[in-house]
């Protein structure tokens, strides 16, 4: 079995990193932002506790800076 190759855009952002990015300290605060539509729903949800976003999704929503800025 070969390792899965992922690009930078597919690198997962887990809830802990997402909370730091948003400046919230509680998971229910992040869940409120998701329900309010200010944060996209996770791209992958394995269970209630295991979920993550792709960096490309967050870039498209303006939550992460665009990669490779203009000169």
**Local confidence band at 1 (pLDDT 50, 70, 90 cut-offs):** low
Give me the pLDDT at residue 18, please. 93
The larger pLDDT score, comparing residue 1 to residue 36, is at 36
**DSSP code, position 3:** P
Whole-prediction pTM value? 0.75
Q: What is the pLDDT of residues 2-61, one digit of tens each?
A: 555 566 667 899 999 999 999 999 999 999 999 999 999 999 999 888 899 999 999 999
Give me the pLDDT at residue 30, please. 92
Give me the pLDDT at residue 71, please. 45
For the beta carbon of residue 42, count every other beta carbon within 10 angstroms.
Answer: 19
Whole-Å CA distances, 15 to 5, 21, 26, 48, 63: 22, 10, 10, 11, 14
């Amino acid at each position: 079995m070969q390792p899965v190759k992922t690009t930078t855009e597919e690198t997962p952002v887990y809830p802990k990193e997402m909370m730091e990015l948003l400046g919230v300290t509680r998971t229910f605060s992040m869940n409120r932002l998701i329900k309010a539509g200010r944060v996209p729903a996770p791209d992958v949800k394995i269970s209630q506790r295991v979920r993550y976003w792709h960096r490309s999704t967050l870039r498209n929503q303006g939550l992460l800076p665009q990669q490779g800025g203009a000169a």
